[in-house]
Amino acid sequence: MVKIIGPLASHHASGTITAPKISSISLRNRHARIAPEAPPTPPPPPPDYIVTGEVNPDITGNYYESAPRLGCPTYTRDDGLFAIWAARWIMFNEWNISNAPGDLSGAYWKTPRENCEDIEAFYTPQNSATGIAFVHAPP
């Protein structure tokens, strides 16, 4: 018969050896250290307008209303790189799509329009822009 002594085990008169209970703080509290899941991110609101077409530079995407210009709303693409904005000239009005409201120095698209509400249309390329862009409301 082997006699085991010490804090790790005990020997009973019946001849069985029992080990102490394993108690680990790290195992016992493992769930307490897992960060709770973040609440789901709500989907973005639907865009005010969508620009489609095979165009270069790529102005396609979702546009949301932003600060007004000349009494008409301006619409900015969700990444902020392009805007749809109204221009008022002496003889006619037009809607434009360019890098920023009022900027016609680079590639841009335009369509003649009568009023601020008449934004849905085909836009023709100007300067170095290519392709026809179509601005329409989401389905």
Position 9 pLDDT exceeds 60: no
Q: Is the pLDDT of residue 19 over 90?
A: no
Q: Is 68 a member of any domain?
A: yes
Q: Name the residue among 59, 92, 94, 55 with its Cα closest to residue 76.
A: 59
Give a yes or no: residue 59 inside a domain: yes
More confident residue, 4 or 91: 91
**69 occurs within a structural domain:** yes
Residue 1 forms part of a structural domain: no
Task: Please check whether residue 33 lies inside any domain of the structure.
Answer: no
Indicate the number of domains in the chain: 1
Given a cut of 60, whether residue 25 has pLDDT beyond it is no
Residues 18-40 have a mean pLDDT of 66
Average pLDDT over residues 70-88: 93
> How sure is the predictor about 31, in pLDDT bands with cuts at 50, 70 and 90?
low
Q: Could you list the residue range(s) of the whole structural domain that residue 63 is in?
A: 49-136
Phi first, then psi, for residue 75 (nearest 5°) are: -125, 130
DSSP string, 36-50: PPPPPPPPPPPPSEE
Is 126 a member of any domain? yes
Q: What is the largest CA-CA distance in the chain?
A: 112
What is the average pLDDT across 40-63?
Answer: 96
In a domain, 85, yes or no: yes
Q: Which of 18-22, 41-45, 49-53, 66-70 has the highest mean pLDDT?
A: 49-53
Residue 27 has pLDDT above 60, yes or no: no
Is 43 domain-assigned?
Answer: no
* For residues 117-124, average pLDDT: 94
